[in-house]
Amino acid sequence: MSINVTVLRVFTDAAGDYGNPLGIVDAAAVQPQDRPRLAAQLGYSETVFVTTPEPGSTSAQARIYTPGGELKFAGHPSVGLAWWLRDIGTPVRTLQLPAGLVPVRQEGELTAISARSDWAPEFAIHHLDSVDALAAAEPADFSDAVAHYLWTWTDQSRGLVRARMFAANLGVPEDEATGSAAIRLTDHLSRDLTITQGKGSVIETTWSADGWVQVAGRVVSQGAMTVV
């Protein structure tokens, strides 16, 4: 059976470059037991399976899978899905994920979602002394028992951060842009951040003392493909 997959890049820079690939699939097209296999076959850090909302609905149900299994919440699929639903003419105010109800908003060219920091998967957070030390890090140097988020300041006064993420435990040796890790780091530092991750992806976060963090970014479409 052929399955249609829409591919986006989430958290691009202002020019539309970089960003983390995301697969979007109609949940009705793939039985739950077959979703892990398809996510592994696609090889993206996450693939989201969405039940397209009925006309007039302001919420959509979705499930998120990495090549290694299902997540209750993840940032880049939530932002990408919110953007895509708006792009196809079915904008929503919330996403219904296993972790909880995720508010959605559009801020100019940025698509934003909000989440509780404790919804994000666990990450070992490593503060490095310099961009050079960050660039020199190798995934093999870190345990595969947990995901690792490495970061350093590029301008502390302005909240500018450079980061990388290694997640062999999720089947992702290195992730280009990780919204859930950005949420964890924002909550850890208790301040708004602009995070440049991977080769050049950009994640904007807003901290709130009530335990919610907004994560926002730009999204572009890579088109659609069919897999068997």
- pLDDT tens sequence across 158-198: 999 999 999 888 888 999 999 999 999 999 999 999 999 99
- Integer Cα distance of 219 and 24 in angstroms: 13
Output the average pLDDT for the chain: 95
Q: What percent of the chain has pLDDT over 90?
A: 89
Residues 6+ apart with CB under 8 A from 183: 75, 115, 117, 119, 120, 205, 213, 215
The DSSP secondary-structure symbol of 176 reads: S
Q: What is the pLDDT of residue 228?
A: 81
- Integer Cα distance of 132 and 144 in angstroms: 23
H helices of the chain, in order, are 35-42, 75-87, 131-136, 179-189
CA distances, 144 to each of 13, 46, 121, 141, 147 (Å): 29, 18, 14, 9, 7
- Integer Cα distance of 181 and 204 in angstroms: 12
pLDDT digits (tens, 9 = 90+) for 90-144: 999 999 999 999 999 999 999 999 999 999 988 999 999 999 999 999 999 999 8
Q: Could you tell me the pTM of the whole model?
A: 0.95
The DSSP secondary-structure symbol of 140 reads: G
- Integer Cα distance of 24 and 164 in angstroms: 24
- Integer Cα distance of 182 and 59 in angstroms: 24
